[in-house]
Amino acid sequence: MLKIAVINPGIADGLARTILDGLVSLTKRDSSVSFKYANTFPYAIEGLEENQSKDKKDFIDFAKEANLIFFIWAKRDMDIGLANEIGLWDKTIFIDGSEIGKNGRYNFEIQHKIIKGEYSGSGKIDTEMLHKCPLYFRREKPYKDGIVPFPFGIESLYVKDFSLNTPKDIDFFCVFGQDEYPLMRRYSREILIDFCKKNGFTCFTEKTDRDNFYRTLARSKVGISVGGGGYDCMRFWEILGNNCLMLTEKIDIYEPDSKKLKYDRIWQFNDLFDFEYQLEKMGEYLRKEYDQSKLKEEYRKVMSEHSSEARVLEIIEKAKEIKLL
285 & 220 share domain: yes
State the CATH number of the domain containing residue 228: 3.40.50.2000
3-state secondary structure string across the chain: CEEEEEECCCCCCHHHHHHHHHHHHHHHHCCCEEEEECCCCCCCCCCCHHHECCCHHHHHHHHHHCCEEEEEECCCCCCHHHHHHHCCHHHEEEEECCCCCCCHHHCHHHHHHHHHCCCCCCCCCCHHHHHHCCEEEECCCCCCCCCEECCCCECHHHHCCCCCCCCCCEEEECCCCCCCCCCHHHHHHHHHHHHHHHHCCCEECCCCCHHHHHHHHHCEEEEEECCCCCCCCHHHHHHHHCCCEEEEECCCCCCCCCCCCCCCCEEEECCHHHHHHHHHHHHHHHHHCCCHHHHHHHHHHHHHHHEHHHHHHHHHHHHHHCCCC
166 & 299 share domain: yes
265 & 204 share domain: yes
Angle, vertex CA 274, rays to CA 272 and CA 278, nearest 5:
115
Residues 97, 71 contacting (CB under 8 angstroms): no
Per-residue pLDDT at 144: 87
249 & 181 share domain: yes
Residues recorded for the chain? 325
Per-residue pLDDT at 27: 98
Per-residue pLDDT at 76: 74
Per-residue pLDDT at 10: 87
Per-residue pLDDT at 65: 98
Per-residue pLDDT at 143: 93
24 & 119 share domain: yes
State the CATH number of the domain containing residue 113: 3.40.50
| Domain around 275 | 156-305
pLDDT digits over 3-32, tens only? 999 999 988 899 999 999 999 999 999 999
179 & 140 share domain: no
**Entry pTM:** 0.96
174 & 145 share domain: no
CA nearest to 232, candidates 40, 15, 77, 37: 15
263 & 164 share domain: yes
Per-residue pLDDT at 75: 76
229 & 299 share domain: yes
The percent of residues in the chain predicted with pLDDT above 90, rounded, is 94
pLDDT digits over 67-91, tens only? 999 999 987 789 999 999 999 999 9
Per-residue pLDDT at 74: 86
199 & 274 share domain: yes
266-269 β-sheet, strand order: 203-204, 170-173, 220-225, 245-249, 266-269
139 & 206 share domain: no
Give how many domains the chain has, as a whole number: 2
Which stretches of the chain score pLDDT less than 50? none
Per-residue pLDDT at 180: 92
163 & 272 share domain: yes
